[in-house]
Amino acid sequence: MCQVDEEYHEPLQRAEVPGVSKKCVKCKEAAAAVVIRAGDAFCRGCFKEYFIHKFRAMLGKNRVLSPGEKVLLAVSGGPSSCSMLAQVQEGLRQNAHKKLRFSPGIVFIDEGGAVGQSVEDRRRTAAELRLVFRATGFPFLVVPLEQVLDLPSSVVVAAAPAAPSERAAGAYKAAVGHSIQSDAGGQQTPRDREETPPADVPEARTLLLQQLIGSAKTLTAREDLLNTLRQHLLVHTARSEGFSKVMLGDSCTRLSVKLLTSISLGRGAQLAQDTGFSDSRYGDVMLVRPMRDYSAKEIAFYNRMFSVPSVFMPGLDTKTTDKSSIQRLTESFVTKLQADFPSTVSAIYRTSEKLQTAGQSSSTADPRDRCLLCMCALDTAAENASAFKATLISEQLSQNRSPGAPRTAMPTPNPAPMEPEPAAGQCCSSGGAEDCGKAASGVGCCSSAKEPESSYLRRLLCYSCQLTVRDMSSVDRLPLYILSEAQRRQRRSKMREEIGEFLLDE
């Protein structure tokens, strides 16, 4: 134990901090220009080679992109997605080493209406990004998020994949050889198609989108809902434009935050799809994350040293406190811990690489067993003695108790609701101000018909999406394509129950 009169005569040893005055760890000649981690100091040239090689190695190791395949690059304007765009542009050069051989396109989802941006700010942001996109020479699209309100119901239905995901090595090499011959014959990637500026989004559509996002009571639910709508719009755009792959710019730091956030939100069963390199839950459109090996620090250094342009886009969590949402709190926790312990992000990231789905995967699950929002396999088929069932029972007991009833020691299982019955011709949902047209005819009030629809809608969702919908003030704010698909599944479920005795067991 330490003594009071103990003397320390040995000088304190200070840990040696790597500086830019050191030599590059790769070429051993030039002075280091950037220090990524302790002991990893690179000069300018070696750092660029290291950054490019990591991107090509990620695509080459997984080998999910075929030569000539159309790939849609989802660029949000942030540093990570713009760096991904620069890597694709560098890899498609004629004299590039291990040249990329797919056909890229760019899409930008304008979320300014959801976060309350003015029309002038949205136009200015779109104009800045168009200049960046035109400089690449790739075809691009600028899609406002308001279009998610008019999507078809097929977006939340998994389509059959166009081709098998696992190809033989000989077929892949043959496709590469055909691509090389096409390049030698003078065929080049199509240039940027000049498109007329899209018409301004009607103010009524922007208001509906804001009401949809604002119907969620908490910022956590709003961010989760916005992420789901954005992903639906990306998949629809890829399908309508003929793209079979969508590249996302999620970095290692972002995926580490997403992993811990998903666990906090009850998405533990979907972690393999949410954080893995490839995500095939939609069938014909695969989501890939080629930037998942890069930390935010590496991307910031590369963009600064090699002048990669990026455009700031405000989000729902801009200028909010650390405790405003679970996503914001987790991001603050990880970034602050990473500042003191540089191995934090890499440790979380390596854990995500080992995650696999224990049960039925989302790509092979039956359409009836998929979540209506996130399209992952449902995780609500738990045993009666599980914690999930206990949570459901507690929720049912708390909802069945009438607001004015006194508390008892043992609540009754299903008490009758103590609500006044509406008079003839009066609608209980509008408080008597309006008539829904059903009460007078004796069919029943419209609000009484909405309760079963709402309860059945929650049965079509996974646990995490149920929490999001539970935080919404009304499910009627959801887009029409989600509600119509829920009604279709409800009709098919009733039909299956009616003819169940005539069906053969699977």
The β-bridge partners of 106 are 73, 140
| Residue 272 domain boundaries | 64-162+189-317+326-369
Q: Dihedral angle at the C-alpha atoms of 94, 95, 100, 104, nearest 10 degrees?
A: -30
Averages of pLDDT over each 10 residues, the chain, 506 residues = 54 52 84 83 92 91 89 95 95 81 94 91 93 94 94 85 49 51 44 47 92 94 95 95 94 94 90 90 92 93 94 91 94 92 87 70 69 87 69 76 52 43 46 45 46 73 91 91 91 86 75
Q: What is the DSSP string of 20-55?
A: TTSBPTTTSSSBP-EEEETTEEE-HHHHHHHHHHHH
Structural domain contains residue 128? yes
- Of 110, 107, 108, residue with least CA distance to 206: 110
Q: Hey, what are 239's tokens?
A: 């399908």
Q: What is the DSSP string of 204-236?
A: HHHHHHHHHHHTBSSHHHHHHHHHHHHHHHHHH
Structural domain contains residue 349? yes
Predicted model pTM: 0.80
| CA–CA gap between residue 485 and residue 479 (Å, rounded) | 10
Contact 230, 485 (CB under 8 A): no
Backbone torsion region of residue 484, taken as left when φ is above 0, otherwise alpha when ψ lies between -120 and 50, otherwise beta: alpha
- Cβ-based neighbour number of residue 188 at 10 Å: 10
Contact 82, 309 (CB under 8 A): yes
Backbone torsion region of residue 109, taken as left when φ is above 0, otherwise alpha when ψ lies between -120 and 50, otherwise beta: beta
Q: Hey, what are 316's tokens?
A: 């729902």
- Cβ-based neighbour number of residue 403 at 10 Å: 7
Position 143 scores a pLDDT of 94
Structural domain contains residue 398? no
Structural domain contains residue 143? yes
125 Cβ neighbours under 8 A, 6+ residues apart: 77, 110, 112, 117, 311, 313
Q: Is 414 exposed, middle or buried (0-12, 13-18, 19+ CB in 10 A)?
A: exposed
Structural domain contains residue 337? yes
Vertex 494: Cα angle to 490 and 497 (nearest 5): 140
Structural domain contains residue 388? no
Structural domain contains residue 469? no
Position 410 scores a pLDDT of 42
User: Phi first, then psi: what are they for 16, rounded to 5°?
Assistant: -80, 125
Q: What CATH number should be reported for the domain holding residue 215?
A: 3.40.50.620
CB burial string 477-502: b at 16+ within 10 A, e below = bbbebbbebbeebbeeeeeeeeeeee
Specify the DSSP element, H or E, that contains 275: helix 271-275
For the chain, the helix, strand and coil percentages under 3-state DSSP, each to the nearest 5: 45, 10, 45
| CA–CA gap between residue 237 and residue 151 (Å, rounded) | 10
DSSP code for 499: T
Structural domain contains residue 211? yes
Contact 74, 287 (CB under 8 A): no
Q: Report how many domains make up the chain.
A: 1
